[in-house]
């Protein structure tokens, strides 16, 4: 029996129709996944179900039935009882969904008070239990912290804890693992899977990660331009996707076999919501398009095994060839490092008492050393909270290091003042993890991108007096937007008018606008679906080949690391525990932590690793363990591991491991 029934739901925003006739059912205990590109209407569908649409939007037609109750007919007071209690939701961007002026404990406590009747010590104990459940270390301390004190991954886990506080019977998860590394992602997915099986909780999962879909989904709905174009059980979808759009999503996946080559991409972009369609909405981007595709909307076509597709092609769509190899993107001629980091430390004091005296320190980065050559890509991987983002910001001097050396093209950065660093800013740029928080909401995106060009005197934008006329801005910024898969006519829009994935592309365009030599990318593709991710990875590869750009690529996506990176550094609790070429680290990992990371990666083929999943949580950087920091979670640890931190052990020319058992 279905717990949720959606029939022909259409959402209108004036002339736009971001959702245009969507129908699906979800049974109790079932996981139904919505898959599709950014801007195709997935999140808007979820907001419509919860009646959380923006003021200008409305559900124009259709019905939504939850446990036999018509949600669209309920008064707002009735919906308040449903939200959180009957239906919980994990939003895509925790930075904009969590209240910045309330502590984590207070925000979880609100849900517990409203839906579970818990207050005081009982609510605090349950809140700590929920934080521990979603993998947040030192939960009692985190209850008293504010969202800005947490990393992106930790904020996402707080959002999941808030959603689970009301014990919902239907959980809507909008990209719930986007900001999470693979080990915590595995824990969260296991948690959601266990909850839905034990409590018979239905799960509507919105994601762009095909590995997560293979791990979680019972049924998949592929969404494009406001409509479902394919619906299928998991087994049929992964063995024989039927719609041309679905086939191309699989062809865009990065892997080691395509390293140095180009990924298959889908030309163009999702049509704007205000566009009216006479025929198939995918026709302009489909290589198998036929005349009848443009004349009338294609009907649903039933395929064996419960699979159906909205396409005139008989049977499954033809396979799509992968991109043609273009050779290694690395520049081998250079031997002098562009970026050299030695014994980098970033410690944040812990202050308490009336006089705010320092009683300890959070050792976010605790002795990191690495080198990056021009035209090379170094991937920095590790769990959320291990110090990856802090290290990247410290290298750019956005956070001043406590100790250590950072040299850019032979120039020491740590001893230079803010004024002295300004001429060097154009050489080094950063793509931040949260695109919404890093884009000025009061500026149009054309002005946001042009602002850096004007401030640093690049791109011909002048050196004073604002960012130029609208015509100048469009002329300079338009080609950059097209490079990252957006339309040039979007320059006059504001950040809130874009989806999460589109905002990430804007952030990448802004960083590229000043022609940097070094680009530090903090999860630059985490908010992107696989087709747009392929465009961005192709773009980054092309730019690296043409301009000898160096990338420090902070990510938790091992498939992207396998495709793009030349070297890999694995970070744990502020220190690099394994370093080497991508082939060495990913094919022959030596450190137990690296092996656990690779084992936690969800695979499209559904295969499971024999390596046991990582148990427990990463210790707090405020109280790192004695000896090897990994020993409390390591299955190989012995007394020696608890006494002293292991030194470097070399394997071959480049692989370095800090482990007594390597």
**Cβ contacts of 357 within 8 Å, gap of 6 or more:** 351
Range from 49-53, 220-224, 463-467, 469-473 carrying the lowest mean pLDDT: 463-467
pLDDT at 143: 95
| pLDDT tens digits along 537-578 | 888 888 888 878 899 999 888 888 999 999 999 999 999 999
* Burial class of residue 222, CB neighbours in 10 A (0-12, 13-18, 19+): buried
pLDDT at 537: 87
Mean pLDDT confidence for 415-422: 92
Q: Can you read off the two tokens belonging to residue 523? A: 């999860």
CA 384 – CA 484 distance, rounded (Å): 27
Q: Can you read off the two tokens belonging to residue 21? A: 């006739």
The yes-or-no verdict on residue 609 having pLDDT over 50 is yes
CA 633 – CA 572 distance, rounded (Å): 12
Buried-exposed string 140-159: b where 16+ CB fall within 10 A, e elsewhere: ebbbeeebeebbbbbbbbbb
**Cβ contacts of 471 within 8 Å, gap of 6 or more:** none
pLDDT at 330: 57
The yes-or-no verdict on residue 93 having pLDDT over 90 is no
Average pLDDT over all residues of the chain: 87
| CA quadruple 99, 104, 107, 111: dihedral sign | positive
| pLDDT tens digits along 7-28 | 999 999 988 999 999 999 999 9
What's the Rg (C-alpha) of the chain?
A: 25
pLDDT at 432: 86
User: Which of 393, 337, 331 lies closest to 365 in space, CA to CA?
Assistant: 393
Give, as one character, the DSSP assignment of residue 620.
Answer: P
CA 35 – CA 252 distance, rounded (Å): 14
Mean pLDDT confidence for 225-242: 93
| pLDDT tens digits along 382-407 | 887 889 999 999 999 999 999 999 99
The yes-or-no verdict on residue 469 having pLDDT over 60 is no
Query: Per mean pLDDT, which of 151-155, 263-267, 355-359, 415-419 is the most reliable?
Result: 415-419
Q: How confident is the model at residue 67 (pLDDT cuts 50, 70, 90)?
A: very high
CA 537 – CA 533 distance, rounded (Å): 6
pLDDT at 315: 58
* Burial class of residue 333, CB neighbours in 10 A (0-12, 13-18, 19+): exposed
pLDDT at 464: 42
The yes-or-no verdict on residue 273 having pLDDT over 90 is no
Tokens 């690793």 sit on residue:
609
Contact 334, 375 (CB under 8 A): yes
pLDDT at 466: 44
**Cβ contacts of 652 within 8 Å, gap of 6 or more:** 580, 584
| pLDDT tens digits along 593-604 | 999 989 888 878
The yes-or-no verdict on residue 462 having pLDDT over 50 is no
Greater model confidence, 461 or 441:
441
Q: Please state, for a pLDDT cut of 90, what percent of the chain lies above it.
A: 51
Three-state SS sequence of 314-367: CCCCCCCCCCCECCCCCCCCCCCCCEEEEEEEEEEEEEECCCCEEEEEEEEEEE
| 1-217: CATH architecture | 3-Layer(aba) Sandwich (3.40)
**Degrees (nearest 5) of the Cα angle 502, 508, 514?**
140
The yes-or-no verdict on residue 62 having pLDDT over 90 is yes
Contact 225, 270 (CB under 8 A): yes
pLDDT at 6: 96
CA 600 – CA 616 distance, rounded (Å): 14
From its phi and psi, is residue 591 left (phi > 0), alpha (psi between -120 and 50) or beta? beta
Q: At what angle do helices 120-133 and 152-164 cross, to 10 degrees?
A: 120
| pLDDT tens digits along 98-129 | 999 999 999 999 999 988 899 999 999 999 99
pLDDT at 179: 62
CA 41 – CA 26 distance, rounded (Å): 18
| 339-442+494-657: CATH architecture | 3-Layer(aba) Sandwich (3.40)
For CATH 3.40.50.300, list the domain ranges present in the chain: 1-217, 339-442+494-657
Specify the pTM.
Answer: 0.77
CA 555 – CA 57 distance, rounded (Å): 35
Q: How confident is the model at residue 326 (pLDDT cuts 50, 70, 90)?
A: very low
CA 337 – CA 181 distance, rounded (Å): 28
Tokens 């849900």 sit on residue:
111
Mean pLDDT confidence for 441-455: 90
DSSP-based three-state secondary structure for 382: coil
The yes-or-no verdict on residue 349 having pLDDT over 60 is yes
Q: Please state, for a pLDDT cut of 70, what percent of the chain lies above it.
A: 92
Mean pLDDT confidence for 505-519: 89
Mean pLDDT confidence for 413-428: 92
**Degrees (nearest 5) of the Cα angle 352, 629, 524?**
85
Strand order through the sheet with 2-13 = 16-27, 2-13, 57-66, 69-70
Give, as one character, the DSSP assignment of residue 170.
Answer: E
The yes-or-no verdict on residue 442 having pLDDT over 80 is yes
CA 613 – CA 567 distance, rounded (Å): 24
């Amino acid at each position: 029996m279905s717990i949720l029934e959606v029939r022909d739901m259409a959402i209108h925003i004036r002339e736009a129709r971001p959702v245009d006739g969507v129908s699906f059912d979800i049974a109790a205990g079932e996981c139904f996944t919505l898959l599709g590109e950014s801007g195709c209407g997935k999140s808007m569908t979820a907001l419509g179900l919860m009646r959380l649409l923006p003021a200008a939007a409305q559900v124009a037609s259709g019905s939504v039935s939850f446990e036999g109750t018509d949600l669209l007919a309920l008064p707002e007071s009735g919906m308040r009882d449903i939200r959180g209690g009957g239906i919980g939701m994990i939003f895509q961007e925790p930075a904009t969904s969590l209240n910045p002026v309330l502590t984590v404990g207070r925000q979880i406590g609100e849900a517990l008070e409203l839906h579970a009747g818990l207050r005081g010590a009982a609510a605090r104990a349950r809140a700590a239990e929920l934080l521990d459940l979603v993998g947040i270390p030192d939960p009692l301390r985190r209850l008293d912290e504010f969202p800005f004190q947490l990393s992106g991954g930790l904020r996402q886990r707080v959002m999941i804890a808030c959603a689970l506080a009301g014990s919902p019977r239907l959980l809507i998860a909008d990209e719930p693992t986007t900001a999470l590394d693979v080990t915590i992602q595995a824990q969260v997915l296991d948690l959601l899977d266990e909850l839905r099986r034990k409590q018979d909780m239905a799960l509507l999962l919105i994601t762009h990660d095909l590995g997560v879909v293979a791990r979680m989904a019972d049924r998949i709905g592929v969404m494009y331009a406001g409509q479902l174009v394919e619906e299928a059980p998991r087994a049929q979808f992964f063995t024989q996707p039927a719609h041309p759009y679905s086939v191309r999503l699989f062809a865009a996946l990065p892997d080691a076999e395509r390293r140095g080559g180009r990924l298959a991409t889908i030309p163009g972009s999702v049509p704007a919501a205000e566009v009216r369609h006479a025929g198939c909405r995918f026709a302009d981007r489909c290589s198998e398009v036929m005349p009848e595709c443009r004349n009338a909307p294609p009907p649903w076509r039933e395929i064996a095994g419960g699979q159906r597709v909205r396409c005139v092609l008989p049977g499954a769509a033809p396979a799509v060839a992968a991109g043609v190899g273009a050779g290694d993107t690395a520049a081998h001629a250079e031997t002098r490092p562009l970026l050299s980091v030695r014994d980098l430390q970033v410690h944040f004091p812990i202050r308490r008492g009336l006089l705010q005296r320092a009683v300890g320190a959070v050792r976010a980065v605790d002795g990191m050393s690495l080198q990056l050559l021009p035209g090379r890509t170094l991937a920095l991987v590790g769990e959320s909270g291990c110090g990856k983002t802090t290290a990247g910001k410290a290298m750019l001097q956005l956070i001043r290091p406590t100790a250590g050396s950072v040299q850019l093209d032979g120039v020491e950065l740590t001893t230079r003042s803010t004024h002295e660093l300004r001429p060097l800013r154009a050489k080094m740029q950063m793509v931040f993890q949260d695109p919404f928080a890093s884009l000025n909401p009061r500026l149009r995106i054309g002005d946001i991108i042009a602002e850096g060009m004007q401030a640093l005197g690049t791109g011909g934008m002048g050196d004073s007096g604002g960012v130029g006329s609208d015509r100048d801005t469009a002329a300079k910024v338009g080609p950059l937007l097209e490079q990252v898969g957006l339309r040039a006519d979007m320059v006059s829009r504001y950040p809130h008018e874009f989806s999460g994935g589109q905002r990430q592309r804007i952030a990448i365009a802004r960083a590229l606008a000043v022609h940097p030599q070094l680009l530090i990318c903090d999860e630059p593709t985490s908010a992107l679906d696989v087709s747009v991710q392929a465009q961005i990875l192709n773009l980054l590869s092309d730019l690296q080949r043409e301009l000898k750009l160096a990338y420090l690529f902070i990510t938790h996506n091992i498939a992207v690391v396998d495709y793009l990176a030349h070297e890999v550094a694995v970070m744990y609790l502020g220190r690099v525990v394994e370093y080497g070429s991508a082939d060495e680290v990913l094919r022959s990992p030596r450190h137990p932590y690296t092996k656990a990371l690779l084992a936690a990666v969800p695979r499209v083929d559904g295969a499971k690793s024999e390596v046991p999943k990582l148990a427990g949580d990463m210790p707090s950087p405020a109280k790192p363990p004695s000896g090897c920091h990994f020993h409390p979670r390591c299955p190989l640890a012995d007394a020696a591991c608890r006494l002293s931190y292991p030194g470097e052990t070399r394997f071959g020319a480049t692989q370095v491991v800090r482990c007594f058992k390597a």
